[in-house]
Amino acid sequence: MKYVKLTGWGNNKNHLIPLKSINSFTEEDKYTMVRLDNGTVINVQESFSMVEEILDLAGAQVYDADDVENLQAQIDAYEEMEADRFAIGDDELPF
């Protein structure tokens, strides 16, 4: 099991958090809020971008709206390419 080590905002204690239990994280004014699957919230000193980097190093894949749009564009381009590949002209036989 993979863990990430984050520093508590109020108490400066280290928290080892199982990667698979992180549900979401939110950037607040002075800390980053990490919400776990069980509903627990841990406020940490690390910045939002640092938490993203740590998750990336731990092997987590974090996606945002831009990633979804890019993936959809790739899928659309692939489907169009496949449709063109199997298209036949009016004067061609399909075999």
Distances (CA, A) of 23 to 5, 35, 40: 16, 6, 10
How sure is the predictor about 71, in pLDDT bands with cuts at 50, 70 and 90? confident
What is the tens place of the pLDDT at every residue in 26-42?
Answer: 999 999 999 999 999 99
How sure is the predictor about 18, in pLDDT bands with cuts at 50, 70 and 90? very high
For the stretch 87-94, contacts whose Cβ atoms lie closer than 8 Å and that sit 24 or more positions apart, written own/partner, are none
In this structure, are residues 6 and 14 in contact, taking their beta carbons and an 8 Å threshold?
yes
In this structure, are residues 47 and 55 in contact, taking their beta carbons and an 8 Å threshold?
no
Q: Note if the pTM is more than 0.75.
A: no
Handedness of CA 21, 67, 57, 35 (dihedral sign): negative
Q: What pLDDT sits at residue 60?
A: 84
How sure is the predictor about 6, in pLDDT bands with cuts at 50, 70 and 90? very high
